[in-house]
């Protein structure tokens, strides 16, 4: 009998979480331990929401003034957001966060002409089943280019990767190309990662070979997760990400005991 029931649904971020560290994946996805938000994740969500409002407008209305009003709309929505309140980002801190979001959202105007963007969907929820697993994701912006071809755009508010890590950065968005092919029976002509902090865009053209590789990767990761669920053995993967890991206290790499996380974690988290 399996120690954990293997997940029947995966998303690109959960796949990335397992590949980054299987034990952290177990804590967050299987044990359901509280993985607290950070200021960076809240800022990212706020920028995404601003751009969602902005690109929902007719193209000729996408001016600097209307980007400001999209930002105001977002700030009103987030003023009592649970994560904002949890991190106590109120008062002056909320104002500072708003200015940072303003800067990041306005950087997109240096990266593209918003009038020329032709979205066919924003924050598009999409899923498809492959063998025993359903892959589910949310595409930030699905659009048609001037030739009528499908383009998948993903906003990033973190730092852009160095050229040697670009391929890895595109791994997540490649899953969306696979989903589009399966769900809409249409190949995306371009995958774009827009790094709004540094106004850089990384793009790639998916091919049948890359999409087939992504499908094989999905099957392989699901198999690895299922095996770990069966044995209960989730390896640690020590990296720079450990500095930001919410579960360090219970990680054997740092002298912790994963078995007591289920008892201790909720109490410690609610106290924090």
Interface residue list for ligand SF4 (CB under 6 A): 21, 23-24, 236-238, 241-242, 245, 247-248, 251, 253-254
Shortest Cβ distance from residue 84 to ligand SF4 (Å)?
Answer: 25
Least separation in angstroms between CB 3 and ligand SF4: 17
Minimum distance between the CB of residue 129 and ligand SF4, rounded to whole angstroms?
Answer: 29
Whole-number minimum distance, CB 251 to ligand SF4, in Å? Answer: 3
Query: Measured from the CB atom, is 24 or 51 closer to ligand SF4?
Result: 24
Closest CB to ligand SF4 among residues 57, 237: 237
**Closest separation between CB of residue 228 and ligand SF4, Å?**
13
Instruction: Compute the distance between CA of residue 78 and CA of residue 49 in angstroms, rounded to an integer.
Output: 10
CB nearer to ligand SF4: give 26 or 62: 26
**CA proximity to 272, closest of 87, 107, 71, 20:** 87
Q: For residues 155 and 234, which CB has a smaller minimum distance to ligand SF4 in the complex?
A: 234
Indicate the residue among 15 and 23 with the shorter CB distance to ligand SF4. 23
């Amino acid at each position: 009998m399996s120690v954990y029931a293997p997940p029947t649904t995966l998303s690109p971020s959960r796949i990335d979480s397992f590949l980054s560290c299987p034990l952290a994946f177990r804590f967050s996805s299987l044990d359901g331990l509280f993985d607290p938000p950070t200021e960076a994740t809240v800022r990212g969500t706020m920028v995404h929401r601003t751009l969602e409002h902005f690109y929902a407008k007719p193209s000729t209305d996408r001016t600097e003034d209307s980007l400001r009003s999209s930002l105001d709309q977002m700030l009103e929505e987030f003023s009592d957001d649970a994560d904002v309140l949890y991190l106590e980002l109120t008062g002056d801190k909320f104002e500072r966060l708003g200015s940072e979001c303003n800067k990041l959202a306005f950087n997109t105007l240096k990266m593209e002409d918003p009038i020329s963007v032709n979205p066919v969907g924003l924050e598009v929820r999409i899923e498809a089943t492959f063998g025993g697993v359903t892959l589910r994701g949310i595409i930030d912006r699905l659009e048609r280019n001037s030739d009528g071809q499908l383009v998948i755009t993903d906003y990033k508010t973190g730092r852009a990767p160095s050229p040697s890590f670009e391929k890895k950065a595109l791994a997540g968005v490649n899953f969306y190309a696979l989903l589009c092919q399966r769900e809409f029976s249409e190949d995306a002509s371009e995958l774009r990662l827009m790094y709004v902090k540094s106004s850089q865009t990384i793009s790639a053209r998916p091919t049948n070979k890359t999409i087939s590789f992504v499908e094989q990767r999905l099957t392989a990761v699901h198999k690895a997760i299922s095996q770990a669920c069966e044995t209960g053995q989730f390896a640690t993967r020590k990296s720079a990400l450990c500095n930001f890991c919410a579960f360090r206290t219970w990680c054997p790499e740092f002298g912790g005991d994963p078995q007591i996380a289920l008892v201790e974690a909720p109490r410690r988290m609610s106290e924090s």
